Structure 1
Amino acid sequence: MKVQGKLFFGLAVFLLAITILYGVWSKEPAGTTALALAFGLTLMIGYYLVFTARRVDTGAQDRKEADVADDAGELGFFAPHSWQPLALAIGGALAFLGIVFGWWLLFFSLPIFAIGLFGWVFEFYHGEDQRY
C-alpha cells in the first residue's frame, strides 16, 4: 500500500501545480475549484493509504524482490450479488431530481436511500461477527 500512497501523493503534487498554474493563467473559478477539489481528494486518499500501510503487514507490492505469485490467494469476502446498490442509486437519483423539481421530492428519496444504505451495510450480518 505504500506504493499506492506515494503514487497518490505524486498525483496530488501534480494537481496542486496544475491548479495554481490554471488559476493564475485562466482566472476561471469553476475549473480552478474543480482542480483544487481533485487535489484535496488525491491528498486524502494518499494519506489514507500511507496511514493504513503502517498498520497492516507489508504486501508483496511493497517488496522489490517479490514475485507476482506472492500476492496470490484470497483477498477477502466480496458479495456475489446485491440489490442494495440499486436502492441507493434510485434514492440518490431522486434526491438530485429533488434539487431540480422541488425539495418535496427529498421526502420520498431519503427513506429509499436510507433503506438501501442500511441494507448494504448489514446485508451479511446475521449475528455477532458473522458473514453468512
Structure 2
Amino acid sequence: MRGEAWLFSGVALFFGVTCAVYAVFAPDPAGIAALALSGLMSALVAAFLWRQAHRSAPRPEDRKDARVQEVSGRRGYFPAGSYYPAISAAGTALLGLGTVQGLWLFLIGVGVLAPGVYGFVFQNPDPER
C-alpha cells in the first residue's frame, strides 16, 4: 500500500500547488474550487492508503526482498487473446458519440456494449469459479 499512498500523496501535492498558483494568477472561483476539491479528494485517498499501510502487514509488493513465489493462489483468468476488450471499447465509444449525435447511435452503442460486457463476465472457462 505504500506505493499507492506515495502516488496519491504526490497527486494531492500537485493539485495543492496548482490550486495555489491558479488562485494567484487567475482568480476564477470555479477553477479554484475544482482544483481544491481535486486536491482534497486525492488527499483523502492518500490518507486512507497510509492508514491501511500502517495497520496491515507489508505486502510482497512493498518489500524490496520479496520474491515472485510469495504470492500464492490463483490471481485471475487472463486469456491469451480475447475480442471482448475491443467490442467493449467500440460500444463505449458509440455510447459517447450517441450522447452527442442522437439516441439512435446511443442505442446502437448499447447493443454493441452488451455482448462485450457479457463476454467479460462469462469468459472464464473454469467451471469451479
Determine if the TM-score, normalized by the shorter chain, exceeds 0.5: yes
The correspondence of residues 6-21 of structure 1 with structure 2, limited to 5 A, is 6-21=6-21
Compute the displacement of 1:88 (Å): 0.9
Cα distance, 1:24 vs structure 2: 4.3
Q: Name the residue aligned to 2:85.
A: 85
Give aligned pairs, total: 125
Note the C-alpha offset of 1:15.
1.2
Q: Which stretch shows the higher mean deviation, 11-20 or 22-31? A: 22-31
User: Equivalent residue for 1:117?
Assistant: 117
- How far is 1:42 from its partner? 4.2
TM-aligned CA deviation for residue 3 of structure 1: 2.8
Runs of at least 5 residues in structure 1 that lack an aligned partner in the other structure: none
Gaps of 5+ in 2: none
Residue 72 in structure 1 maps to residue 68 in structure 2: yes
| CA–CA separation in structure 1 for the residues paired with 2:122 and 2:29 | 41
The alpha-carbon distance between structure 1 residues 58 and 12, as it changes in their structure 2 partners (threshold 3 A), is same
Change (3 A) 1:60 1:10: same
Per-residue deviation, residues 23-44 of structure 1 (Å, max 9, x unmatched): 4422457865774575467457
Structure 2 residue matching 1:82: 3-state secondary structure:
coil
How big is the alpha-carbon RMSD for the aligned residues of Structure 1 and Structure 2?
3.5
What residue number does 1:94 align with? 94
2:106 aligns to what SS in structure 1?
A: helix
Q: 1:12 deviation in Å?
A: 1.2
